[in-house]
Structure 1
Amino acid sequence: MRALILLGIVGFVAQLVDGSLGMAYGVTSTTLLLAVGTNPAAASATVHLAEIGTTLASGISHWRFDNIDWKVVAKIGIPGAVGAFAGATFLSGLSTEVAAPIMSIILLTLGAYVLIRFTAFGLPRGNLGKPLRKRFLGPLGLVAGFVDATGGGGWGPVGTPAILASGRIPPRKVIGSIDASEFLVAIAASIGFFFGLGSENIDFAWVAVLLLGGVIAAPIAAWLVRHIPPRILGSAVGGVIILTNVRTLLRSDMVNAPGNVQTATYLAIAVIWAASIAYSLREYRRDRDNESVEAIEGLERGPVVEGAAGSTR
């Protein structure tokens, strides 16, 4: 019973983070399942089955708060489903040990860009409103879906920073669209796992409690992302991406850093991350105050009346 309660709490926290930042449900949940001895394929299958319900609830919640760009969902979700099915079907015969560090380096670069861009300059507005092309979203979805199925998580860590870095849609819509499209990915991955594993290796009680925790958290997360300022949200997402992928790199065979080096690195990143969020919060408040002053000055000047004195009409 304690294990089920713990899984329910993990499902709640993982979905709260995922729905607010566009990533981490699969990574968090799969990590716990692996820690208790579940084999990778069964752990990923369990998480993806739970995600069918949590992503549906999350998608509905984000839709109600107008956090979704449906064109993005269609362009990235369908290729993502194809990639997820392929990754789930061939997981037992594939190794991601070599690919994981390389992917982490790519994601770490994107995370650093997102953190610096949003912290130093706020929401990128130069491309805001421009469409995201299918030739960009299609391959991105295919890779993200494959990584998600083979790694037990990865749809958000791959998709969210890549779209955020483009600066073409607001962060809340990036997160809402990624969460909504993940429903297709979860269904495709689950079908693939049933083909590859059957159902005997899946504990459906674990699926149920992960699902319950996630469904409870979904509307709360959708509300949070609606009300968190984009600049602060971008800094927060960038920090999550950096911390997650640095952890993967330090523990990989490529680096294999000692425990004390890992701890020191995590602390340094945490300090920089906290300072970045604090700076973004300060700059957001300053910009908001400046906008308020400009609005008050505009009201004091009064409206411009056509045909005022001096008109020749």
Structure 2
Amino acid sequence: MPELTEFWIFLCVGFAAQLIDGALGMGYGVISSVVLLASGVPPAHTSASVHAAKLFTTAASGASHLLHGNVNRRLFWLLAIAGCIGGVAGAFFLTQMPGKLIRPYVFGYLLIMGLLILWRCLRQGKERHVMPGAFVAPLGGVGGFLDAVGGGGWGPVVTSSLIGAGAQPRQVVGTVNAAEFVVTCAVVAAFVTTLLTGIWSEGKGLADHILPVAGLVLGGLPAAAVAGFLVKRAPRRPLTFAVALLVITLSSYELICASDIFAPENTAQETVSKPSLAEITK
């Protein structure tokens, strides 16, 4: 059964992505979004599906970090509130854009996220204590908006920026992961609202992606449960480098394929759609 094969593929993707996310504070959303988009899922459906899966994984991951003392409560609330505002705005923006039009731009954004992760891997700086300042709220808002639009990006934007400013990695990863649960709830609520009110006209096909979402959830939950432990033990640089290369490679490939949409010779004829992951696994 090709559907069952697709479920197991996404279960493995969810487990690996959440292991990386638990250790680095980034990776689950970006990796899951790249794989879903590459399998032919529209951008808005991808973001909604990934955030639905993240409801469960971020809850488990945030609880694990809280249990291990990795959360700065003051920074948590500042990021969570700003992230919710940005995330809701991003969700409404995404649902009003045609999927075929925005798809190349989403991959371009994910490519930038991959380069940002790679830059974070190669850059080393001294740690210092960073208290919530004027830049934290705008950072949370931008991170929430881009996370909703791209289906991932909260970690690469917020975690990398705070660690780049010199904050202690363990506290940043734990706090950003915990705040991500609140932001994810807001984004999912925004998607549901647009669906129920009819604002999102293309949202009815979400049920077609229930197996990939189930795979992402069931694969990610076991890894999320040990996130607090992973952030203390996992080798950060090799994992960061691997995530960056994966995202850059997949995004670059999809951008090359998507560029055919804008080719002059294709304006008067239909482009041939790529096979989905389910079709490939038949």
Q: Choose from 204, 213, 226 the match for 1:200.
A: 204
CA contact (8 A) 1:171 1:233 kept: no
Q: How does 1:208-227 map to 2 (within 5 A)?
A: 208-227=214-233
CA contact (8 A) 1:48 1:190 kept: yes
Closer/same/farther in 2, CA of residues 209 and 108 from structure 1, 3 Å limit: closer
Structure 1 position 98, deviation (Å): 5.1
Q: How does 1:22-33 map to 2 (within 5 A)?
A: 22-33=25-36
Q: Deviations over 1:274-311 (max 9, x none)?
A: xxxxxxxxxxxxxxxxxxxxxxxxxxxxxxxxxxxxxx
Q: Deviations over 1:32-86 (max 9, x none)?
A: 2223322111121111011111100000111112222122211111111111111
- Which residue does the alignment assign to 1:156? 155
Q: How does 1:82-97 map to 2 (within 5 A)?
A: 82-94=85-97, 95=102, 97=104
SS in 2 for 1:66: coil
2: CA distance between counterparts of 1:84 and 1:213? 25
2: CA distance between counterparts of 1:187 and 1:96? 24
CA contact (8 A) 1:144 1:158 kept: yes
SS in 2 for 1:84: helix
Closer/same/farther in 2, CA of residues 17 and 148 from structure 1, 3 Å limit: same
2: CA distance between counterparts of 1:213 and 1:110? 23
CA contact (8 A) 1:117 1:124 kept: no
Structure 1 position 2, deviation (Å): 1.7
- Which residue does the alignment assign to 1:35? 38
Q: Which amino acid aligns with 1:124?
A: K
Spell out structure 1 runs of 4+ moving beyond 6 A: none
Closer/same/farther in 2, CA of residues 72 and 234 from structure 1, 3 Å limit: farther
2: CA distance between counterparts of 1:37 and 1:103? 16
The answer to which of 49-58 and 26-35 deviates more is: 26-35
SS in 1 for 2:126: coil
Q: Which amino acid aligns with 1:224?
A: L
- Which residue does the alignment assign to 1:179? 177
2: CA distance between counterparts of 1:10 and 1:18? 12
Greater relative contact order (CA < 8 Å, ≥ 6 in sequence)? 2
- Which residue does the alignment assign to 1:2? 5
SS in 1 for 2:47: helix
SS in 2 for 1:90: helix
Confirm or deny that 1:49 pairs with 2:55.
no
The answer to which of 55-64 and 70-79 deviates more is: 70-79
- Which residue does the alignment assign to 1:124? 126
**TM-score, normalization: structure 2?**
0.75
CA contact (8 A) 2:57 2:221 kept: yes
Confirm or deny that 1:61 pairs with 2:60.
no
2: CA distance between counterparts of 1:100 and 1:46? 17
**TM-score, normalization: structure 1?**
0.68
Q: Which amino acid aligns with 1:129?
A: H
Q: How does 1:76-115 map to 2 (within 5 A)?
A: 76-94=79-97, 95=102, 97=104, 101=108, 108=115, 111-112=118-119, 114-115=120-121
Q: Which runs of 5+ in 1 are unaligned?
A: 257-313
1: CA distance between counterparts of 2:117 and 2:190? 29
Structure 1 position 239, deviation (Å): 6.7
CA contact (8 A) 1:58 1:179 kept: yes
Q: Deviations over 1:4-24 (max 9, x none)?
A: 222222111111111111111
SS in 2 for 1:8: helix
1: CA distance between counterparts of 2:38 and 2:117? 28
Structure 1 position 238, deviation (Å): 6.4
The alignment covers a number of residue pairs equal to: 243
CA contact (8 A) 2:7 2:214 kept: no
- Which residue does the alignment assign to 2:75? 72
